[in-house]
Structure formats: structure tokens, C-alpha cells
Amino acid sequence: MQNDKAISILNSLIETCKDGERGFKTAAEGLTSSDLKAKFLQYSRQRAQMSAELQAEVRTLGGDPERSDLAGRIQVVAPAQRLEDGRRSRALRIQAAFVGAAAGYLALWSVYQLFKLVTGKEGMGYGDFKLLAALGAWLGWQLLPVVILLSAVVGSVVGIALIAFGGRSRQAAIPFGPYLAGAGFIALLWGDRVVQLYHAWFFR
């Protein structure tokens, strides 16, 4: 009677180990990370070894080792897949930030070089390139046209107003950074809405 209870408990543990063995093995097959795949295969082998030892103990007690189904596979595969999806998502976000930063920097750098080539003067400072690069990394390259357009429009309106009503010289430099920062803030809060309004207005 005592052996029957012990055999029942051991068989439950065998079933758990078998499910874990198959579950980790199946999860490893669906992973792309070599380090993570190696870990899962190691976990699978560990559970296979534990299962074999438990089966030997059951036979020693005169019982028949339990054969497990594959129900436990789902419990291992789902978390493993979520972990892999999370890693891919982070990698994509980093890649998008890098593309946004590069696009932001090169956009103003190209304008700077073209303006210097045509006029022989420097039209803006390198701080503007870096600021737009930071906005591109934060917002994504898709919203960079919104930031550039808004900052250019607002900067032009303010510049014209200063010349017309403030007596400012046309040759005086106007800092572009504050308008970039303001446009970035607007794009952060309402960038998608601005794009929708633009498409509705010009492509209806």
C-alpha cells in the first residue's frame, strides 16, 4: 500500500519531467537565438535525465513507469515564444531609432552643405543636426517631415514678423533649435493627427 502511494507520486513527477523535456525541446526548435536554444536543449536533457532516474526508482518499487502525453509542451512553448518575440521587438525598436537618428542628422546636414555650396555661408549650426537626430530616434523617421515642415513654417512666420515689426535685420541669424524643439513636441503629441489632416486636405 505504501509502495502504491510512492509509485503514484513518482509517476506524477515522471509525467511532469516528460512534459518539460518535450516542451523545452519543441520550444528550442522555434527559437532563432543560438544561446537561448542551447539553454532550452540543456533544460530538456536535464528533465530527460530526471525522468529516467524516477522511472528506475518506480521499477525498483515494483511499479510501471508512467508514459506522459504532450500537454505540458504548451506551458513551455508559449512563454518561450513570448520571450523570443520580446527580443525581436526590442531589436526592431533599436533599429528604427538608429534609422530615425541617421535620417534626422543627414536631412539637415544635406541642407547645410547645399546652402554653403550655393551661398558660401553657414546656414545653421551642428547642434540643429544633433537635435533633429535625437527627434528622429525618439519619434521615428516617419514623423521627421512633420517636424521639419512645422519648424520651417513657424520659424519663417516668426522671422518675417521680427523683420517687419521688430526692426530686425534680414542678415541677422535666427536660431532654428527652438522651433525644432517645439515642432518635435507637437509631433510627439499630435504627429499622427497632423499627417491625417495633411492627407485629408491635399489628397481628397
How confident is the model over 123-150, as pLDDT tens digits?
788 888 899 999 999 888 888 888 988 8
**Where are the domain boundaries for CATH 1.20.1260.10 in the chain?**
2-70
Cα 1 off chain centre by: 57
Distance CA 146, CA 136 (A): 11
What mean pLDDT, rounded, does the chain reach? 79
How confident is the model over 164-177, as pLDDT tens digits?
877 777 777 778 88
Distance CA 135, CA 140 (A): 8
2-70: CATH topology is: Ferritin (1.20.1260)
